[in-house]
Structure 1
Amino acid sequence: MSDTTINADPAELAKFSELAHRWWDPDSEFRPLHQINPLRLQWIQSHVPLSGLRVLDVGCGGGILSDSMARQGANVLGIDLAGKALKVAQLHALEAGTPNVRYREVSAEALAAEEPAGFDVVTCMEMLEHVPDPASVVRACGELVKPGGWVFISTINRNPKSFLFAIVGAEYVLNLLPRGTHEFAKFLRPSELAAHCRAAGLDLHGTRGMEYNPLTRRYWLSADTSVNYLIATRKA
């Protein structure tokens, strides 16, 4: 990817911008994000207490995770290239009085050039499956985090089960997500993501899967990484 190319799919940005006003409606298309957010936060804090740390949330969207990390005492910067979603995030922070959170419309790669090793923790959740070059984002995350700092990533595995659950089930049967939210070819196997992390100087410290029961509408973390999964890495 050249320096002049933005690592983003215009169609993806348009899709999330169109839904921007619904980010903070817990019964909207973003309901799954609201439901899994406590699990994501718990996973992060099981590795590193966030209070007092400088945290970057890459691909923050409307700020659901950014806001919750700031409420744990972190000094949070959320970045995204979907301008409308960022405006919603900023408005919510003002309305909710969330301390220590701000937002910028900038790519991870551009910010890495500005602030190398500038953050104690970097998160990149449910974002890599929406960009043309996920390795570039992971590399930028590795550049942005301080030595000894943590990078947390979540995405979707690529296999027949994930196609059935994350696309057919979630988008067409259960209507948990708008149709067309995901593209199967962009899903990442854990081995592929681990290779990107190693190339970025990030050591793998743990992996967890995230499961969903459509009957109870409950999400939980497990050892099953066959569909949604999270990884914890640390900069050498």
Structure 2
Amino acid sequence: MVASNDTLPTRKPQSRTEPEVGASGASIDAADVARFSARAAEWWDARGPFAPLHKFNPARLKFVRDRTAERFGRDVMTRAPFAGLSLLDIGCGGGLIAEPMRRLGFDVTAVDASSENIGTARAHAAEQGLDIAYRAATVEQLEAEGAGPFDVVLTLEVIEHVADPEAFIRACSRLIAPDGIMIVATLNRTLKALALGKIAAEYVLGWVPPGTHDWNQFLKPDEIRLMLSAEPLAVSGPFGLAYDPLADRWSESDDSAINYLMIATRD
């Protein structure tokens, strides 16, 4: 599903000798940043606290790959199919999305409010020989600095952790280039998501540490659509992602009652 390292254009990993600038912005939820920072070193441990995310990752990577290929007319079977396109990964964590996106040819910029997460992501990318522009920063900082625009903007499982979802998602959308695409992934605020995405996942199955999510911060698809209604975008979705316990895998589904994605495009 994801291209191997040898599909990358030959480029030297970027030197990161400049001092790290701290992340700041109104969207930051300090408690959530601290929670993820405390586990920063464990992002790439497939049997550690992020193990469920490693299982979840192939489904969302496939979704991102296929929808961006449709948008830009790229053949995913070719070498580095997205070469020449820029991608911004907002709330990148340890780099679980940024690295495979770079392998697919994107010029990747990845930001996170946690400098600990960025340190882990940067070190792992260097070990893999991947030149990804990592930075501890928020979307507000990027917008204020005039960063971008980017052909693809990703914010996956981030909006439910910010203090001001509308300000956050609108700022993200303003970084989309003309003809570009933004993909948002989050959890639905339904009773099914409360039972399975919160209570079962945290307290019964132990997929994520207790307290990782606040069900009250989950967003309904129509709420995201409304938040983006003031921006010049076409919004589609939701597109569900569901877990099959028999196959032990995630895949795209018509069921968006728990996990889902939205697409916004700028013409």
TM-score, L = length of structure 2 = 0.83
Render the CA deviation track for 1:74-119: whole Å, top value 9, x for unaligned: 0001001111011000000001112x41211111011012235521
Partner of 1:138: 169
Q: Which one has the largest radius of gyration?
A: 2
1:221 to 252, 255, 266: 252
**Pair 1:203 & 2:223 matched:** no
SS of the aligned residue for 2:229 comes to: helix
1:51 to 39, 58, 83: 83
Percent of pairs identical after alignment? 38
**Pair 1:30 & 2:69 matched:** no
1:87 to 107, 119, 122: 119
TM-score, L = length of structure 1 = 0.93
2:140 to 75, 88, 109: 109
Extract structure 1 runs of 4+ deviating beyond 6 A.
none
Q: Runs of 5+ in structure 2 lacking a partner?
A: 1-23, 70-81
Partner of 1:66: 98
Displacement after TM superposition at 1:54 (Å): 0.6
The structure where strand makes up a greater share of residues is: 1
Distance 1:165 1:201 in 2: 35
Partner of 2:196: 165
Partner of 1:119: 150
Partner of 1:39: 59
Displacement after TM superposition at 1:215 (Å): 4.6
Aligned-residue Cα RMSD (Å) equals: 1.5
Distance 2:25 2:238 in 1: 31
Displacement after TM superposition at 1:126 (Å): 0.4
Displacement after TM superposition at 1:161 (Å): 0.7
Q: Runs of 5+ in structure 1 lacking a partner?
A: none
Render the CA deviation track for 1:191-229: whole Å, top value 9, x for unaligned: 001111222332113431111134542211101110000
Aligned residues: 232
1:53 aligned partner, one-letter code: L
2:150–2:176: 8 Å Cα contact kept in structure 1? yes
